[in-house]
Structure 1
């Protein structure tokens, strides 16, 4: 029998003591005291829809959110949990309770005390409003707060992935006193002017230009952050981004921010460096996703025809300049514990695509056109813009006339997930560290929630897929869990609500005069408390 979470065992006490010792020295091992002061400029390629991650998972939101609102834990490159707002944790042997001991003396940026009530409120909010939180915390049946510095999560069923889910960008802790009586969490004005516990205090958001943060003088990790000011620059134009990086106007640029045609040239510049580490928490893929509410895409033959007509090798080698690995399913090749490499695929074959469209009843007209569609690509990088142009050319060869629609990120998000005014899209999604957290949201019928971004955008529904996802979410045996996710992937290869294209080979570009920006699995999406100038 597991010990009561309110009466810790010796193992728990040792766990907490070890974590407290680790928390006392969080400096990642610099040879000398880092230089203090200065203003660092961080790049975003697109305007975020909001700057709190409590109800949003847009990549640009995730990058900025953790600077203000932190998580219970952070993670090493191997996904080993480390203290952040929690200094100790223990998981019961049966997997049905998680006890977190919270860091004492932490203040919100408005001076209020951070307590267990904030954690309980945040997790309940994430469970109801967050695109992934609905599945991440589905098995949490009760949250107990026996004292201001203890949180107990009681689970109805085990959640084998849960201890990996408490990073700031994934499970941000927000102030209960700001959100509790202010209407829906996802509509709270604080999402655009956040209050947190983090190393930086929000100051202003000038839309289309920048987000300004300043050093938190009362930060719980004494002596940090090292820089005085963080400016997040929003630069949608690719040429302008390259110029800003090359001239030193931008010192830190994550998520493959430049046209890949410029990558080799910039790698040769002595003032710049490239970092491929720190994307272990996200494992992003690119994919073509269909709106299954459109009558034309209810016929799987049309979806399969598209898969045959789009050459993934062209997207990798020409569109993406050789970066990334070709995939056919929903799982990133870098998520090796769950990746299946022999899924049914639809190799590039224009004749097969034409035959499928003929069988579906979409013959070519006198003008050679079978039907016309609008393609909305996610405006978050060169891959998707260039990919949209290629997809238009590829589908024209089988008689499908495509209009590519360009828009800003908030408009795209609203169109796809709220208005559902789209035919199909070329987008990127994070698998994250586990399929239950990063993948289930996209195919689970219970996660079709108009208005919730980056959820089940295709409106896919298959009872067997639902069953497999739900069983896998509580399966403790790694082999059985792999088999369940493999069966899920094989069904998707038949149903094809979307199809994978590439596992993205992401990188960060940074100036060599900074350090401390990549200290764990969340990299630049972490709180940046350790970033500093070196000269």
Structure 2
């Protein structure tokens, strides 16, 4: 027996740690699909539940501006293909929640092809596949049951794509079929976005027969979702019929779904006004909204966390290398006034980070303190030394509103004693000069299409980020980003993200002065339309119906 006085403190701590880790392991999962979101408030305070239709409605009609010829849902990263076209025939392992009882948009997920899942440890997940999920009865699959190998081979093929679809699954380390209806997936390290990456609209499950055929396999659209692909009818639209053996009873609520291809926005609006389209996603066009108001047309709006106009200050160039100068530039702006005056009150202010829901965005009351509309913040001020300093503002020439906003920013900066000029860049110049070369002082333009919290933070704000164009590098910020990546507790992660947003805005190098608001025109007889703009979600179309048809 070792005398107590000779026991090493480090040895004691090691023994205690081993007992804590191994002795207390009960074998229970740390999370399941039933308890994962227990700390989130998913429901809005005021909800109106609509009863399910007693019978299916006849046809649900939508419209799309683009026809996608390449229907390979893994190799083609087209949002139209994934969520407004042939991709609607496919299911996913998980999907994003939607419905009148959900506060949307949301990253909260639910089972799609699985009926339950559990997280065995910080990096291991186990998914149980539904026993009532079958492929559409089309050769060569012929309506067989969905199995574990379908899931694994689909994810492997998606990982092999050379586009952003592969990014969604890059954290997967191993996949194993425990049996025909259980898949075990391990990730390289704890990832708080892993489940939402599986639910992304591009993370589709296709039959192994399609995978074996490669690209030619997608000449046949064979899924397991609520809609069965029928035809494209000479590229005039996408046409589906209800899956009679879909695994969720009564879904879809319509017998048929058609998506008409109408490239011109005014023609789409006219088709809607004539009753040819039931639900029309609107563009940022004030004329359209005026016409809809004149005709008392019902509309719906929802924040889109992943899309908007960003403004970046290059912290490597003079005078923007000085915090005080950057703060004064940001404080000269009033984005809420600009949203009202330029964007017809359709927009919101944030840092452009995709988050769980709008309660995770830095509130306006705090944001305002960093802008003209709020209190002053401490800073160095702008000491011009008697000389005016030239500032070039590079503006993406995507619309007249982009140009108008760029001119407003120039006017505000000019009032500080700086000498701003506005440089207009077309789409190709913007991509080449800003996102590829990073050659600018201040730029204003569309944000990068990054649809998860971790991908956005790690790419845009981390010191080693692929799209760190502002050149701001900060070890403390890196630590905050890395912490929230692996934080699996929602309450703790939300706290980190709220602190992180305030830290970024205090350093005055990046803002999203106008976040997009998705809008839809809806016919009076449309029922239960509750879209979720996050992650190219589309299941809500299956839960929508037309009354009286």
**Fold conserved (TM > 0.5)?**
yes
State the 1:529 CA deviation.
Answer: 2.6
* Cα deviations by residue, 1:249-279 (Å, 9 ceiling, x for unpaired): 432123x535246536524635x322246x6
| Residue number among 453, 463, 486 corresponding to 1:435 in the alignment | 453
| Residue number among 363, 376, 386 corresponding to 2:396 in the alignment | 376
Match of 1:19 in 2: none
Task: Determine if contact 2:298/2:521 at 8 Å carries over to the other structure.
Answer: yes
Task: Determine if contact 2:351/2:501 at 8 Å carries over to the other structure.
Answer: no
The answer to which of 417-426 and 392-401 deviates more is 417-426
Q: Is 1:313 aligned to residue 336 of structure 2?
A: yes
Match of 2:274 in 1: 247
Match of 1:69 in 2: 90
State the 1:321 CA deviation.
Answer: 1.4
Distance 2:482 2:158 in 1: 19
TM-score of the two chains, using structure 2 as the length reference: 0.68
Structure 2 gaps, min length 5: 1-24, 36-49
State the 1:33 CA deviation.
Answer: 0.5
Task: Determine if contact 1:87/1:103 at 8 Å carries over to the other structure.
Answer: yes
The 3-state SS of whatever aligns with 2:149 is: helix
| Residue number among 385, 392, 406 corresponding to 1:391 in the alignment | 406
Distance 1:252 1:494 in 2: 41
| Residue number among 517, 529, 535 corresponding to 2:542 in the alignment | 529
Distance 1:428 1:127 in 2: 24
State the 1:233 CA deviation.
Answer: 3.2
Q: Is 1:275 aligned to residue 297 of structure 2?
A: no
The 3-state SS of whatever aligns with 2:409 is: helix
Distance 1:305 1:438 in 2: 26
Matches within 5 A, 1:41-440: 41-44=62-65, 54=74, 63-64=83-84, 66-74=87-95, 75-76=97-98, 77-78=102-103, 81-92=109-120, 94-104=121-131, 105-107=133-135, 111-112=140-141, 114-123=146-155, 131=164, 134=167, 140-155=172-187, 157-169=189-201, 171-174=203-206, 178=210, 196-198=223-225, 199-201=227-229, 203-204=231-232, 211-215=237-241, 220-221=246-247, 225=252, 226-235=254-263, 237=265, 239-254=266-281, 256-260=282-286, 262-263=288-289, 266-267=292-293, 269-270=295-296, 272-276=297-301, 283-284=305-306, 286-290=308-312, 299=321, 307-308=330-331, 310-327=333-350, 330=353, 335-337=358-360, 339=362, 342=366, 345-347=370-372, 356=382, 358=384, 363=388, 370=390, 372=392, 374-376=394-396, 385-395=400-410, 398=414, 399-407=419-427, 415=432, 419-420=436-437, 423=440, 424-428=443-447, 435-436=453-454, 439-440=457-458
Match of 2:519 in 1: 507
| Residue number among 478, 482, 489 corresponding to 1:466 in the alignment | 478
* Cα deviations by residue, 1:208-227 (Å, 9 ceiling, x for unpaired): x8652433667634875534
Distance 2:531 2:118 in 1: 24
Distance 1:422 1:29 in 2: 55
State the 1:57 CA deviation.
Answer: 7.1
The 3-state SS of whatever aligns with 1:473 is: helix
**CA distance 1:442–1:203, change in 2 (3 Å):** farther
Task: Determine if contact 1:392/1:403 at 8 Å carries over to the other structure.
Answer: no
Task: Determine if contact 2:349/2:513 at 8 Å carries over to the other structure.
Answer: yes
The answer to which of 390-399 and 98-107 deviates more is 390-399
State the 1:72 CA deviation.
Answer: 1.6
* Cα deviations by residue, 1:296-343 (Å, 9 ceiling, x for unpaired): 797466765653554313321111212334446757795314536535
Name the larger-Rg structure. 2
* Cα deviations by residue, 1:408-427 (Å, 9 ceiling, x for unpaired): xxx68965897558753422
CA RMSD of aligned residues (A): 5.0
Task: Determine if contact 1:285/1:504 at 8 Å carries over to the other structure.
Answer: yes
**CA distance 1:91–1:342, change in 2 (3 Å):** same
Aligned residues: 479
Distance 1:13 1:332 in 2: 20
Task: Determine if contact 1:132/1:438 at 8 Å carries over to the other structure.
Answer: no
Distance 1:373 1:521 in 2: 31
Match of 2:14 in 1: none
Distance 1:414 1:456 in 2: 14
**CA distance 1:217–1:13, change in 2 (3 Å):** closer
Distance 2:421 2:515 in 1: 28
* Cα deviations by residue, 1:333-357 (Å, 9 ceiling, x for unpaired): 95314536535724379xx99x859
TM-score of the two chains, using structure 1 as the length reference: 0.69
The answer to which of 507-516 and 219-228 deviates more is 219-228
* Cα deviations by residue, 1:224-261 (Å, 9 ceiling, x for unpaired): 55343422435454x4454343333432123x535246
Distance 2:383 2:342 in 1: 26
The 3-state SS of whatever aligns with 2:460 is: helix
Match of 2:500 in 1: 488
Distance 1:522 1:485 in 2: 18
The 3-state SS of whatever aligns with 2:486 is: coil
